[in-house]
Amino acid sequence: MTSGTIVIDQERCKGCGLCPTVCPQHVIHLLDDQLNARGYHPAALVDPEGHCTGCGICAVICPDVCITVYREARAARRPVMA
């Protein structure tokens, strides 16, 4: 199991809406109330509970290479010994 996070370059983002449609965790949203310098509503990670797995699908789909993915392995759970 892995956990992850992403960083979106919001000034490069053209608000195409592709990345929110492919994220299996549904943690990417377009910011309808914000515009970047090019006049687009940028995508943002909204993940207060840490559901991003770092799968990287969003970065693969982005046509403008705006998304950087960071991923780390979660510590393996060990059984508690009596």
Instruction: Give the interface with ligand SF4 as residue ranges (CB under 6 A).
Output: 4, 6, 8, 13-19, 23-25, 27-28, 43, 45, 52-58, 61-62, 64, 66-67, 69
Residue closer to ligand SF4, measured from CB, 37 or 80? 37
- Round to whole Å and give the CA distance between 43 and 27: 10
User: What distance in Å separates the CA atoms of residue 22 and residue 9, rounded to the nearest whole number?
Assistant: 18
For 1-82, list the strands marked E by DSSP: 2-8, 28-30, 43-45, 67-73
Q: How far is the CB of 76 from ligand SF4 (least distance, A)?
A: 21
Nearer to ligand SF4, 56 or 78 (CB): 56
